[in-house]
Structure 1
Amino acid sequence: MKRIAVLTSGGDAPGMNAAIRAVVRRGIDKGLEVYGVRHGYVGLMEGDFFKMELGSVGDIIHRGGTILRSARSEEFKTAEGQQKAIKKMNEAQIEGLVVIGGDGSFMGAGKLTAQGFPTIGVPGTIDNDIAGTEYSIGFDTAVNTVIEAIDKIRDTAYSHERICIVEVMGRNAGDIALWTGLTSGAESIIIPEATYDYNDVMNRIKNGQERGKMHHIIVVAEGVCSGEELKKEIKDKLNLDTNVIVLGYLQRGGSPTAYDRMMASRMGGKAVDLLLDGEEGVMVGWKKGQLVHATFEESAKEKHAIDLGDYNLARSLSI
């Protein structure tokens, strides 16, 4: 193998640039030519490649987002789109591809491998919801960003004796909500993996008021309900005014933490090593404190799970 490419796909995550840097520099150190693909699978189909040198990834390890940009593509989901991408890579004499992204990105990578093109996946999503790995790039930074926001929100909630609902990302996974709720001392946490009802939230608010606590922080994962829905319930049942803060894209941005930079560097470097070892159709993962890899098919069979022990601990600590 002489020439490889790297792309980022799906939602951006802090640490993606560190992973790109690792792929490029590890590849060059191993004697490879490394090409960047702009705009994910869209750029792959259009042949939007450019050769990356050591200087191409200088001073990017601390930057959020992705210098390669990202995009979603309906066309690439088709067999014709995939063949189009493979044709462009063959024309450019690219022999292997590293895809940095989430489940959707890995589905595309698996399709390329099934059609004979060697592809390796590196998990990158702030939701930390990729099956086959205990960690994905960007999660630690997102959690710290949300914690910082909640700490500031709590100052105002305390000063004005208000209830504040903080809506965080996590359509199908409550990792961000659980980690930030527990580590910021939120009084209520609502996640898709745990059964909840509005009455429990109301009772916690009333119990707090009875012992003289007049402010309350509720962290809710967007996949369960919206902050506005919960606000209406609180108004209807307790006649209390509530502020709703939707953090949105704020969670995706910012300079990656040291942990995300370390994990991105490890995973990006491992992806190159796997290609050189003749592996294909696998994703790099992190389990029990070490790097692992498994095929996209094997990883997809696993189910992302949250530690409900932490959820129960959070409930105990927030009484």
Structure 2
Amino acid sequence: MEKIAVLTSGGDSQGMNSAIRAIVRTGIAHGFEMIGVRRGFKGLMENDFITLGTSDVSDILYRGGTFLQSARSDEFKTEAGQNKAINNLHEHGIEHLVVIGGDGSYRGAQALFNRGIKTYGLPGTIDNDIPLTDYTIGFDTTLNVVTNAISNLRDTMSSHERVSVIEVMGRSCGDIALQAGISSGVDAVLIPEFEWDIKEISDQLAKGFQRGKTHSIVMVAEGAGTAEDVASLIEKHSDLDTRPTVLGHIQRGGIPTAFDRIFTSRMGHKVIELIENEITGVALGMEKNEITYHSFDDIFDSENVVDKHLYQIFQDLI
């Protein structure tokens, strides 16, 4: 019986548990022995393996985070660290390793693949910053978390006639800010992919209050600036009462949406199909509602770009 191991690495994202469940249950249904690696690549080096059965992944479909836990490891980036991981995989007779994580996790999976380990990647990051996939695991849930938070903030901002500047995650990708901004009807979105003029934005906000608005909301992607700095500049240019809010790690939590549960279930099923067809060294994703896969090399050679048409839609709506 061939063995498949699965681990989660880097920052957690809602839907990772759903992905683990799909991989484990599909693998068992297709005759594989399933192994869980706790604490990511760190656990891979420290031999922290557990056998996973169908019941071990019960009741995790609707839970955020990852029950296998995650950890970052500088040691794994070294040849010595990778040797430890490879030796442990060989000692346990594990032929395949599925890695759920973001860019750094993919690079770890590629490093093992280049050294003879059959590896596969699933895009586990809320940032939606992995090339060659329309969505990453947890992104849709995060949009809902941010949208709900904006609704709550709007109530208090309106009561005090304030401007709220909300900072969201995304690293160098503005997708969370842009798409949550559209879904929330905010007044401005600042993302790293497009230039923005703080004086022009401040003037627009001031005009809105002059027309009778009782509140305004500005979204800032963390790669474009900080909520505190932007709020200070808006208040300086407009003299409007402006408050910064950093949503922080609350964006990683919450019950995964139906979309994220179905998305991860489809990918988990697909990765077992790839293993059976001896296709390896690839990462999965979704393109035009189809589950697709590309080599790690192709992903690293590609650029993740924001949807310019979606940005124009937002500009036309404000």
TM-score by length of 1: 0.98
Q: Could you tell me which residue of structure 2 aligns to residue 120 of structure 1?
A: 120
Q: 1:53 aligned to 2:50?
A: no
Measured against aligned partners, the alpha-carbon deviations of 1:45-74 in whole angstroms (never above 9, x if no partner) come to 011000000000000000000000000000
- 5 Å matches for 1:1-319? 2-318=2-318
d(CA) in 2 for partners of 1:163 and 1:133?
Answer: 35
d(CA) in 2 for partners of 1:86 and 1:128?
Answer: 30
Q: Retained in 2: the 8 A contact 1:166–1:219?
A: yes
Q: Retained in 2: the 8 A contact 1:24–1:52?
A: yes
d(CA) in 1 for partners of 2:203 and 2:87?
Answer: 61
Gaps of 5+ in 2: none
Compute the displacement of 1:272 (Å).
1.7
Compute the displacement of 1:80 (Å).
1.5
Compute the displacement of 1:271 (Å).
1.3
Measured against aligned partners, the alpha-carbon deviations of 1:6-58 in whole angstroms (never above 9, x if no partner) come to 00001100000000000100110011100000000000001100000000000
Measured against aligned partners, the alpha-carbon deviations of 1:239-265 in whole angstroms (never above 9, x if no partner) come to 222111110000000110000000010
d(CA) in 1 for partners of 2:31 and 2:276?
Answer: 10
Please provide the CA RMSD for this pair: 1.0
Compute the displacement of 1:210 (Å).
2.4
Measured against aligned partners, the alpha-carbon deviations of 1:267-288 in whole angstroms (never above 9, x if no partner) come to 1111122122111110012112
d(CA) in 2 for partners of 1:67 and 1:214?
Answer: 44
Q: Retained in 1: the 8 A contact 2:271–2:284?
A: yes
Partner AA of 2:108 in structure 1: G
SS of corresponding position for 2:135: coil
Q: Retained in 2: the 8 A contact 1:132–1:300?
A: no
Partner AA of 2:121 in structure 1: G
Count of residues in correspondence between the two structures:
318
Runs of 4+, deviation exceeding 6 Å: none
Partner AA of 1:277 in structure 2: N
d(CA) in 2 for partners of 1:248 and 1:148?
Answer: 14
Measured against aligned partners, the alpha-carbon deviations of 1:112-169 in whole angstroms (never above 9, x if no partner) come to 0000000000111111110121111100000000000001111111121111011100
Q: Alignment identity in percent? A: 49
Q: Retained in 2: the 8 A contact 1:188–1:204?
A: no
